[in-house]
Structure 1
Amino acid sequence: MASNIANIAKIPELRKRIFFTLALLAVYRVGVFVTVPGVDRQVMKNILKSASGSFLGLLNMFSGGALEQLSIFALGIMPYISSSIILQLLTVVLPILDRLQKEGEQGRRKINQYTRYGTIVISLVQAFFIARWLEGNNRSFSQFGSVVLNPGLGFEMLTMITLTTGTAFIMWLGEQITERGIGNGISLIIFAGIVARFPDAMTQLFQKSSSQGDMTVFELFLVGGIVVGVIAAIIFFERGYRKIPVQYAKRVVGRKVYGGQSTHLPLKINVAGVIPPIFASSILLFPAQLAGFVQSSWMQRAADVLNPGDWRYNALYIGLIIFFCYFYTAVTFNPVDIADNMKKYGGFIPGIRPGKKTAEYIDRVLTRLTFGGALYISAVCVLPTFMQQKFKVPFYFGGTSLLIVVGVALDTVQQIESHLITRNYENVTGPKGPRIRGRINRTR
């Protein structure tokens, strides 16, 4: 790892990509503190503090604290994720979208354009309900003061335009990081928002232990051990994969013999990565937002059901995680294509017929692996409930946030390593590893 970090400085293009990514993330973090006109963010901080652990706390976590700041980025990147979910679901249902997805780069650009349009529509709807909800807080939380200084139609229109523009800007930042940075732009934005909340969470945790006396020293070390154990489990499962042996038949071309080597097909335990918890959280946040913004008795009951910590919320959350694990794996990994490519190049799995039987075998193995991966993700993501109820730990140490942080960090390291390998620098794999020689530019 030390050798890889040292080699980053030797590659100008990779160095520029990393600096570009850090610069855009810095712009995002600065924008979090730009407040929507006509609101009092100090009052909002007090309201969110009183609603700690609810869906508002979850939304505030994913927005990187932008909600409590009443920032122009208060909606965060969730409308974009919701739009992506809708488009991916429609791709399975509508043949025209399925054809677009199979058209290559041009089709993907068209789908991305539809995703952007959907993001704007969802942002406008959510921004309207947020504006109405903020006005309602003047009555519901009058003990803290007035959140909105001048409520009315003008404030609602201004809030809708401001929040929608903020979400569109975050979406553009994520796409720029993906294209011109080190990749995973949307995930890195969520990562930056969660990591930015960790110092405050650490401060609150130590205050509970030292000054307030809510936690003993033993409980503090126990919580630290649980967090370290969860991180170790995430790394173990994210790096774990099943090797399916693949044998390539020998082919004689002229006087030379090709093929005949043995290799393996690696299948990850968690093919979907951090996408399922992000998708599941965004799905549950949207109806919870509506339930919180619309003041009615049946909406209030729905808000109680969709409150993190309630067993019904956890059951829905686990169900959605399992669904998106299978759904995203099916979208990104096609056993039929893998089997056809293996058959085309003379490859086969020992004991399995090439073609349809190979695809069925890979699909069967992948289904079992995905079920195990879904259970692992579900177990990690429901950890916040246990830690909050038993130790009153800040919400930021929850399994969902740790899973996203560790998963995105591992993906980012892999992106950097792939850039290093493609540039063919020496000593990429360490001083005792193989030496990869770089290209030599020759001028004629």
Structure 2
Amino acid sequence: MVLSASDVERLAAVDTARAARVLREVRSARLAGQRAPVAPRPVIERSWERALRHGVDPEHGHRPGLLSEQEVRGRRESSELRHVLPLLREELLTVADAARHIMAVADADGRVLWREGSGPVLRRADALGFEVGADWSEEVVGTNGVGTPVVVREPVQVFASEHFARSQATWTCTGAPITDPRDGRLLGVVDVSGPLEMAHPATLAWVGSVAKLAEARLRERHLASLERLRAVAAVPLARLAGRALVVDRDGWTAAATGMPYVSRIGLPKSLAAGRRWLPQLGMCVVEPLAGGWLLRAAERAAEGGGTRIVLDLTRRRSWSVAVSGAMGSWSHELSPRHAELLCLLAVRRAGLSAAELAAEVFGDVGRTVTVRAEMSRVRRYLGGLLDHRPYRFCENAEVETLLPAEPGALLPHSTAPTLVDLRTGPGTP
């Protein structure tokens, strides 16, 4: 028998003590390597396994070290979550305080940056080390409502002994990730936590919906910033006769002239004013604007014509993609996931949808959000050399894939069926 989230919620709503007792028995049996009376929820069981691999002590737990006030202040000032903090307070804090809960907001590292709510509950949280500046990542404190959503990238409720550390078994914690709508990057987690006896079955849906509302507010802020940049650029663009783009610091387009509109182009991390080579535009004159850049293209290169892409997968742990064209060349080191995705696209030149990539990489067509987030990051440096719907290399680019001499050395971390076949049989992309 496997416990579902709704099973836990229903049992907790009827008899909190009994639900806690059942979960305590499940946890004890699993951690002892014995057969449990019922199976834990998959999201919880996988989290326990990760905590064990990280060496978290399930019996004594760990009181995480705190960031200094200066470090917390610096993280707060650089966090995009500061823009939605008033919304989170409005939607969560009033109800949480009345229900003897607290609200915590953590960054993508699991560091608690803000924490507010019921005074007595805050004092109980202090005793656990659930304080501002504390590290509540899974690898430090085990399964919890902050660290687990950071890993799985979806809302998670952790009830009673579903927590990995015994010290947290008198709590219920519900956290939901908040991602940057511009690129899918994880910004952090909003969490509502409180005493076990105050658990409510609607908390998971409530916290998850507020996190989505926060993402929508961030999207509105981004659109407003592009509108402001468009207004700033109106006069200089009107004076130009050639091809030009106005983009924000992340490459999102605010305005274009003399060329088709593209929503985003890839920018190097250290872009500076002057003549620069950009994959989608070729050689450009880069000029700073308030909140972005004016890019004046010297010659046409957006379609990838005359562009050569070399995907180097010859090494076991270090991979790269190199791009060369009429106006210059550049290369980029690849993460294991990006190497895997680009290799699949090199094999399937006709292209793959987000669902097809999810099935290839994760064995789960439902992981399209993760795929789109990763492909958004890839497009930041490959830009228009990658099409989407489906994802594929642009037709006019020459793509070469360099494989290791031993087929078994090709991306050994990957379990994608196509890449497994390449490792075990003849043939090249």
Q: Normalised by the size of structure 1, how large is the TM-score?
A: 0.22
Q: Which has the higher helix share?
A: 1
Which structure is richer in relative contact order (CA contacts within 8 A, separation 6 or more)? Answer: 1
- TM-score if structure 2 supplies the norm length? 0.23
**Bigger strand fraction:** 2
